[in-house]
Structure 1
């Protein structure tokens, strides 16, 4: 048992040497089923990325996704839709296409936070452009899918490596 713990500790140490903590802030325009009830999506997450070789990055992330409810009129009465909120937990993989561009995706599960929200399968394909040594801009399509109901948004994000 001591040998297993020692090997595990050595592997984690090697991975931690190439690891990077990331923080992302994202804004998006709701599309699909949620666009009738939401005017804007805002999300953020914290990730832990591991470089496996010079071109591939793997990691995990957890965050918060909020679809802000919008006002709409029904028979002359203004109704405000409630915000839809998720807690996405995902694994991710990114592949460096060039010195400045990378492409990849986050895949996992988004836990529903507000009442009546069961959550669902979470996915976020992305195209990233490096604007500094540890900063990137991203174009993405983010979504949560459960039983044919989709909460999706198209947006832009900013990621900082710490």
Structure 2
């Protein structure tokens, strides 16, 4: 897989997910369910079960591009297999956005870090033995001062490097009252004693 293929795919996937969330009432859910069922029964792939812990780092853009410099995060989850193709499970995490401290060599003392604690449900669809895509949807609790949190969504594309280690590329969106938190992050996930469900 070319090095730039995953980032471009994830950006396109993130745009699609965000559009879907904003217009979910207008979608034909029967067609979506049918598409998911077709994916499940026409794929020869490996689902994965187990406890996971991940760390990620990335950059903000749009509304928080000038207010923050770097974003880091950590999350833990447990995925349950839904057949051989789909994993689902809960996840909790913590996100910290470092305030931008320099702009043209002038200290920006008025800016403060931004922190969230997302609580979400995740889904992962395996398209091969090593490659998967999916996402999390939930609510991000605001931790930093003056932060009320908002709707949280995080589409992800992942590549399983070994039975216990995967790398992923994701877009994180949080719908706040007057802005949208938008970041692109690269992460690594460790799977504790993973179990597999294979199609025979």
If the TM-score is normalised by the length of the shorter chain, which range does it land in? 0.7 to 0.9
Aligned residue pairs: how many? 144
Q: CA offset at residue 134 of structure 1?
A: 2.1
Q: Compute the TM-score of the two structures, normalised by the length of structure 2.
A: 0.68
Where do 5+ consecutive residues of structure 1 fail to align? 1-17
Residue aligning to 2:51 = 21
Where do residues 41-56 of structure 1 align in structure 2 (5 Å cutoff)?
A: 41-56=71-86
Name the CA distance, whole Å, in 2 between partners of 1:147 and 1:83: 18
**Looking at CA atoms only, which structure, 1 or 2, has the larger radius of gyration?**
1
1:142 matched to 2:177? The reply is no
User: Pairwise CA RMSD of aligned residues?
Assistant: 1.7
Residue aligning to 2:100 = 70
Tell me which of 107, 110, 130 is aligned to 1:100. 130
Tell me which of 67, 70, 78 is aligned to 1:37. 67
Where do 5+ consecutive residues of structure 2 fail to align? 1-47, 193-200
2:49–2:87 CA contact under 8 A, matched in 1? no
2:168–2:186 CA contact under 8 A, matched in 1? yes
Q: CA offset at residue 146 of structure 1?
A: 1.6
Tell me which of 99, 104, 116 is aligned to 2:146. 116
Residue aligning to 1:10 = none
Q: Which runs of 4+ in 1 moved over 3 A?
A: none
CA offsets 1:84-104 (integer angstroms, 9 cap, x no match): 000000000010011110000
1:89 matched to 2:119? The reply is yes
CA offsets 1:94-127 (integer angstroms, 9 cap, x no match): 1001111000001100000011000001110000
Q: CA offset at residue 143 of structure 1?
A: 1.6
Name the CA distance, whole Å, in 1 between partners of 2:125 and 2:178: 30
Q: CA offset at residue 155 of structure 1?
A: 1.3
Name the CA distance, whole Å, in 2 between partners of 1:102 and 1:148: 33
Residue aligning to 1:126 = 156
Q: CA offset at residue 47 of structure 1?
A: 0.4
Name the CA distance, whole Å, in 2 between partners of 1:29 and 1:38: 8
Residue aligning to 1:15 = none
Residue aligning to 2:189 = 159
Name the CA distance, whole Å, in 2 between partners of 1:78 and 1:158: 33
